[in-house]
């Protein structure tokens, strides 16, 4: 009997946590991993007692899914994504949806979107931000690709996404083709730029001004009360206060 709302392939920590997040929000999830022992360990461990179905091959996974089938890949970017898609294709039908939740190059996502469209399948390249903890308690999700898929994945994605103060989900459709992974790339560039500036400010305070960790923490905490208010500044202040 096909009962799962979505299938997830790839049970590294991000994949596991995303699956648990989905199950915690009332969705039934079928899971598969190339190393099948990992499936068994997950189902008998962290997933025990939850609405999570373990499978041992792509065909079994697909057969567990409601139509249109939704399969989310949480595998390493690059050739692994193409290999998993190739393994899935014999079991999918027109209108089924394949979601890439990894950090794929947006150019690859454009190519895959077009290739899948030619086969009658809907492809969604999806940026997922928040790390391992965010995947479990609420990530930012940036889906893009074939817009026909959006009504079929919107409820799941917006249910598991982080929420802002007005309860709006940190998830919305960002555009066609590789837009989801392009937005994630820009997001990462901004984040890494911020981290570099924080590192340089720390280096100047420590090595040029001779400040102690607690003093630097106070400066970062003060910065976090003004226009520099951000998660990265906040946790930097907290870390320095504990050193």
| From 59, 60, 191, 234, the catalytic residue | 191
Query: What pLDDT tens digit does each residue of the chain (243 aa) get?
Result: 569 999 999 999 999 999 999 999 999 999 999 999 999 999 999 999 999 999 999 999 999 999 999 999 999 999 999 999 999 999 999 999 999 999 999 999 999 999 999 999 999 999 999 999 999 999 999 999 999 999 999 999 999 999 998 889 999 999 999 999 999 999 999 999 999 999 999 999 999 999 999 999 999 999 999 999 999 999 999 999 998
Task: Give yes or no: 191 in active site.
Answer: yes
Residue 1 pLDDT: 55
DSSP conformation class of 51: S
Residue 243 pLDDT: 86
- pTM score: 0.91
**What does each C-alpha distance from 124 to 27, 153, 157, 221 come to in angstroms?**
19, 9, 12, 39
CB 142 within 8 A of CB 109: no
Q: Which stretches does DSSP call E strand in 101-188?
A: 122-129, 140-145, 175-176
CB 73 within 8 A of CB 11: no
DSSP conformation class of 206: I
Residue 217 pLDDT: 98
Nearest in space to 89 (alpha carbons), one of 104, 73, 102:
73
């Amino acid at each position: 009997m096909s009962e799962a709302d979505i299938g997830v392939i790839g049970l590294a920590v991000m994949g596991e946590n995303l699956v648990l997040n989905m199950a915690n929000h009332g969705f039934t999830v079928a899971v598969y991993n190339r190393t099948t022992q990992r499936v068994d360990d997950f189902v008998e461990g962290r997933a025990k007692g939850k609405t999570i179905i373990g499978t041992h091959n792509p065909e079994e996974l697909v057969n567990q899914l409601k139509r249109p089938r939704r399969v989310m890949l949480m595998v390493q970017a690059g050739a692994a994504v193409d290999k998993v898609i190739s393994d899935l294709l014999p079991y999918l039908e027109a209108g089924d949806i394949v979601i890439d939740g990894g950090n794929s190059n947006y150019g690859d996502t454009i190519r895959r979107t077009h290739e899948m469209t030619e086969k009658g399948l809907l492809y969604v390249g999806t940026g997922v931000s928040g790390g391992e903890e965010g995947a479990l308690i609420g990530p930012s999700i940036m889906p893009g690709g074939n817009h026909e898929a959006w009504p079929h994945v919107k409820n799941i994605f917006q249910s598991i996404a982080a929420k802002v103060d007005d309860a709006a989900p940190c998830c919305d459709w960002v555009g066609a083709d590789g837009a989801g992974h392009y937005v994630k790339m820009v997001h990462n560039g901004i984040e890494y730029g911020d981290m570099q500036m924080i590192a340089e400010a720390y280096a100047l305070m420590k090595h040029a001004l001779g400040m102690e960790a607690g003093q630097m923490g106070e400066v970062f905490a003060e910065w976090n009360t003004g226009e520099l208010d951000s998660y990265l500044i906040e946790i930097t202040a907290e870390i320095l206060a504990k050193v």
